[in-house]
Structure 1
Amino acid sequence: MKTIIISGINFFEGGPLSVYRDCLDNIIKSRLNETNNIIAFVHKKELFVEYADKITLIELPKARKNYLYRLWYEYIYFYIYSKDKNIDVWLSLHDITPNVKAKKRYVYCHNPSPFMKTELKNLKYSYKNFLFSLFYKYLYKINIKKNTSVIVQQDWMRQEFIKMYKVENVIVAKPTATINAINYIDSSKEPKNKIRFIYAAFPRFFKNFEVICIACEKLEGKGIDGYEVLLTIDGKENRYSKELKKRFKKLQSIRFIGLQDRKDLFDLYETVDCMIFPSKLETWGLPVSEFKGTGKPMLVADLPYAHETVGTYNKVIFFNPNDTNELASLLEKEITKTNIYINAIEKEIKEPFAIGWSMLFDIIF
């Protein structure tokens, strides 16, 4: 019986918590907990009550109090804990390579910010994000070569890790999107007055909302109408969204609809005609994976992450996310139904490569 440690003490809500729960769900589904001693370090046990009788939970509630606590746990507490436990596998789910004694060590790196090219004009929106990306660049580096392997979600991140940190042992673990619970409908034949586009994202400056707004500004300047673009921001989230709304609220074609919960967002996917996804930086780009289930057209940034996320799809066009004229032209052609889509083909990913948790467990456990 192996002793396997999973650590995710910084996860408490949203996507990161879902990742942790998905990991534990698949451990139980694979029945690994029946033949191994699985120990999970968590922020609070109450977030994982359904696993308490199947997995040993250890709560570290101070982990989110501040980063000093977080670093103390990662580099000191975990070492003290591990040094006399004869641990077979230690899997850290949240970017930091802890200081531990274990036969095999893995770190799952989600945050792509160290590889972000920040323009000075964007520092006013989030200097904290800029400083945090620098912090993460060096945080990733600590102990990274002590890992049996580093785990990332896409091949472009593997190449960046190899280049920046001179590590060769990097596993690409492609996530699987659970979208089959949504019953998509074909709304393309329904009578409507306007072609509807959507961009679903939280307003960070690298999400690049302005390229859509400027493209729409150009179309309105030419007198082109008959369309609307739904943006999931309302100007109240942060300084970036506030400036976006102040600058572009006069546009008739833009609707600032605010952040949407998952159910409402999928309902919107049923009614719109096309997704625009101009983000300049993503670990994966989940809305793209989700929207693929509609079979509808997508206009997506011509960047490595986006090509990997789109994979195989026959209604996509990749565009320069810095080129407002190109996007305006694509929007106009989409309105007049004259766009010519490419038939994207998923590229082959070299080993080590896993799709979903079960394949990843086969590699690391």
Structure 2
Amino acid sequence: MKIVLSGVNLVEGGTLRVFKDAILAFSKNNDIELICLVHRQALFSDVTAHNVSFLEFPSIKSSWLKRCWFEYFHCKNLSKNLNADIWFAMHDMTPNVTAKKRFVYCHNPSPFYTAVKVDYRFEYKMVLFSFFYKWLYQLNIKKNDAVVCQQSWIAEYFKTELGAKKAIIAKPVSKKTQITSTENTTQLVATNKKVTFFYPALARTFKNFELVLDAFLHLKTNAPDCYNKVELVLTIDKGSNQYAQHLVKKYHTLENVTFLGQQPYDEILKLYNRTEVVIFPSKLETWGLPISEAKEHGKPLILVDLPYAHETLGNYDKAHFVDADDPIALAKSITQICNGTDIFSAHQHKQHGTVVENWTQLLSIITQD
């Protein structure tokens, strides 16, 4: 069986890790010939399976005109030449292709986001993009055998609003997540010189870095004893983009905040191990992969009280939810940690609909006759 995985636009962060996980899982089936359409093959140097080949398209990401041309025109001819049994588009847009079965993986949450002032200043393209992304999702969507998405509320949107034939809910994790925290959250301060809060995220405005940074600023001014017991590690720095430059400049007085910059995934895993608390305040996600990764490492989690966070967290015994727009409330929670109070508790989320737990299960579903 020949399967095409198309992800020419995926080059960094969680989406690239999801793409790699799919490739690695599918390649374990020796009866499959896997052809991957990618930005650069060098991004996949860790993929060495004999049944995987790569086709590079390095110029497609340079403009939306080129991307649309690729998806709606070039892929038509390419699909005739490749003659795939399954064409699986990994990045939202349903291409014009010829294949026995077609699937699209939708992960961009832009249609569900309400822009704020900082978005217009630093990511005006994203604001404009969100206005027509619904149209991009809808174009050709009925031609898919199924739409693959990450959460039940998004699956319902695709079926009821956009007319998708079928929606498969697939969690973008390749490992079974740990559901019991290993941290003693009543002794975080007592056993560490400083409590490390870790927020792994790219420098995007919707990631809501200001919530955490304003909370630390409040602590420095109003609770210096607590501030001296904590530190924050962020995977952005002034070289990330203009938004990150703005954050580094605005919060340069916070000496307990480390703007570490983007890190290789193996370094991210090491940072999880060195971290006491993972914090994830993003306002816009279709999943929020660091939540799953933090669970795998058994770390206490501080999350914003939004639907995606509850569904991604699922059942977990060490989580704490805060208002996405209230840094003082977050500062209060951090102060409680400094005072030895265990603010983390067990949370449960009832999943609606059938959920595919890993890529191997998904492969079994999409290859069924």
1:96, distance to aligned residue in structure 2 (A): 1.2
Question: Where does 1:102-181 land on structure 2 (aligned, <5 Å)?
Answer: 102-167=99-164, 169-178=166-175
Q: CA deviation at 1:119?
A: 1.3
Select the residue among 304, 318, 336 that pairs with 1:301. 304
Among 67, 71, 74, the alignment partner of 2:68 is 71
Q: Which structure 2 residues correspond to residues 179-328 of structure 1 after superposition, within 5 A?
A: 188=188, 191-225=191-225, 226-328=229-331
The CA deviation at 1:179 is 9.2
**Distance (Å, rounded) in 1 between the aligned partners of 2:284 and 2:68:** 26
Deviations 1:280-325 (A, max 9, x none): 0123222222222343321111112211222221110111111222
Specify the alignment match of 1:22 in structure 2.
Answer: 21
Partners of 2:160 and 2:259 in 1: CA distance: 40
Could you say which residue in structure 2 is the equivalent of 1:364?
366
Moved more, 329-338 or 63-72: 63-72
Partner amino acid, structure 2, of 1:231: L
Aligned residues: 357
Q: Secondary structure at the match of 1:124?
A: helix
Specify every segment of 5 or more residues in structure 2 that has no aligned partner in the other structure, as ranges.
none
Deviations 1:75-123 (CA, angstroms, capped at 9, x unpaired)? 1233234458865422111211011233321111121122111113431
- Aligned-residue offset at 1:263: 3.3
Q: Deviations over 1:26-82 (max 9, x none)?
A: 22313331xxx5444444566668668424654545434543333223212332344
Q: Taking CA–CA contacts closer than 8 Å with sequence separation of 6 or more, which of the two structures ends up with the larger relative contact order?
A: 2
**1:72-87 alignment runs, 5 A limit:** 72-82=69-79, 87=84
**Aligned-pair Cα RMSD in Å:** 3.1
- Give yes or no for contact 2:21–2:174 (8 Å, CA) kept in 1: no
Is the deviation greater in 262-271 or in 97-106? 262-271
Structure 2 CA distance for aligned equivalents of residues 300 and 111 of structure 1? 20
Q: Does 1:347 align with 2:350?
A: yes
CA displacement, residues 183-235 of structure 1 (integer Å, 9 cap, x when unaligned): x9969597433333222222211111111122222223323423222233333
Residues 177, 290 of structure 1: 8 Å contact kept: no
State the match for 1:9 in structure 2. Answer: 8
Q: Read off the aligned partner of 2:223 and give its amino acid letter.
A: G
TM-score by length of 1: 0.85
Quote the Cα distance in structure 1 between the aligned partners of 2:2 and 2:118.
49
**Stretch deviating more after TM superposition (80-89 or 128-137):** 80-89
Asked if the contact 1:10/1:64 (under 8 Å) is kept, the reply is yes
The residue identity in structure 1 corresponding to 2:305 is: D
Change (3 A) 1:222 1:99: same
8 Å CA contact 1:30–1:358 kept in 2: the answer is no
- What is the letter of the counterpart of residue 222 of structure 1? N
Tell me the TM-score normalised to structure 2 length.
0.84
Tell me how far 1:171 sits from its aligned partner. 0.8
The answer to whether the 8 A contact 2:25-2:360 is kept is: yes
Whichever residue aligns with residue 192 of structure 1, its letter is N
CA distance in 2: counterparts of 1:232 and 1:85, whole angstroms: 39
- Does residue 99 of the first structure (1) align with residue 102 of the second (2)? no
Partner of 1:334: 337
Gapped regions of structure 1 (runs ≥ 5): none
Q: Which amino acid aligns with 1:356?
A: N
Q: 2 CA distance for matches of 1:85 and 1:270?
A: 43
1-side partners of 2:20 and 2:150: how far apart?
Answer: 17
Aligned pair in 2 of structure 1 residues 120, 170: CA closer, same or farther (>3 Å)? Answer: same
- Aligned-pair CA distance for 1:14: 5.5
Give the distance between the partners of 2:100 and 2:170, measured in 1 at CA.
21
Residues of 2 paired with 1:230 and 1:62: CA distance? 34
Alpha-carbon spacing, 1:230–1:13, altered in 2? closer, same or farther (3 Å): closer
Name the CA shift for 1:47/1:275 in 2 (closer, same or farther; >3 Å).
closer
Check the 8 A contact 1:330/1:339 in 2, yes or no: no
